[in-house]
Structure 1
């Protein structure tokens, strides 16, 4: 099977938008952490996260998104479990690819929440994920105008399908992303880093 470096190259060849690249790196980090928690294959789960939106920039139409990627990945010899989970995270494919396995449920659960955590981090004064509180993320979730591209229903549905408490899920993903803060552009700067202030 292709390596993580192969997967990263494929992703960056098709995705030039830096924010979308960071989104996929965020989902990769969350998926790797969940694989470790569940005793699953870390590389398989991580590559699923890294590649899940690799066709979105070129094929944003939901009837094409993930189906184009599936063709690319199949031709490159990627594991069918990765391809299935990527197809399953697009609800357009629900009839043919229901989320019945843990990998698919994990990807769906990690997708929207990483976007909300990133958006919440970037409006903090220090722009650092370190010290970010679950309560801050939940507060921003309630603001309809904030991070409008993040589907709140999908976010909550993802946690429900994975059968995890939403607050615990948010805390877990914050920690996973914090471990990759530099690569995700969420480390802030040393002089800016300060404790979270209740708002």
Structure 2
């Protein structure tokens, strides 16, 4: 079955308590919905995939994308959703190569949302609302910034999608702006 957004969110919360991981899931969900709309795809399905993509990460970090299969099968989640979830770990912790457009977008924007989040919280405003491509690309190119973000995955994903990296970054920023308050990136008053 394809869970509703509410069912997917409840499942996420069953396995994840960390506010950072929950905010990341919400950021990926919002970005997946945004790209689905741009590409004329199923926003609900893409959003659900984004929401549960790291379902196993908090409890089973050493079995990431492996335990997810077990958890999602136990909850009768559709095989194509399970495949999409697993494929985001391609080359890192999974052998399932992203093939469907939904899988390729998830693979690409998972790391990218993390980089954008890190860049936004470093700003005086603590917001994604005033973060621009030019500023982000400087951080992107800095090896010392957000070292845990795998830039190679983002670049490989852009190549899989046959999309310009600048376009993907700009649209991911736009997506995160739409949900800024719900992911803690709405900003603070700067005096």
TM-score, structure 2 as length reference: 0.94
Task: Give yes or no for the alignment of 1:164 onto 2:151.
Answer: no
Structure 2 unmatched ranges of 5 or more: none
Task: Give yes or no for the alignment of 1:60 onto 2:61.
Answer: yes
Partner of 1:119: 118
Q: State the Cα distance separating 1:10 from its structure 2 match.
A: 0.9
Q: State the Cα distance separating 1:17 from its structure 2 match.
A: 1.2
In 1: Cα distance, 2:40 partner to 2:14 partner: 31
- C-alpha deviations, 1:58-102, integer Å up to 9, x for none? 1111xx2112111111221222111001111112322xx221111
Task: Give yes or no for the alignment of 1:145 onto 2:155.
Answer: no
The count of corresponding residues between Structure 1 and Structure 2 is 188
- C-alpha deviations, 1:141-164, integer Å up to 9, x for none? 122121111111112112221221
Task: Give yes or no for the alignment of 1:182 onto 2:181.
Answer: yes
Runs of 4+ residues over 6 Å off in structure 1: none
Structure 1 unmatched ranges of 5 or more: 194-199
Partner of 1:20: 21
Task: Give yes or no for the alignment of 1:6 onto 2:7.
Answer: yes
Partner of 1:197: none
CA RMSD of aligned residues (A): 1.3
TM-score, structure 1 as length reference: 0.90
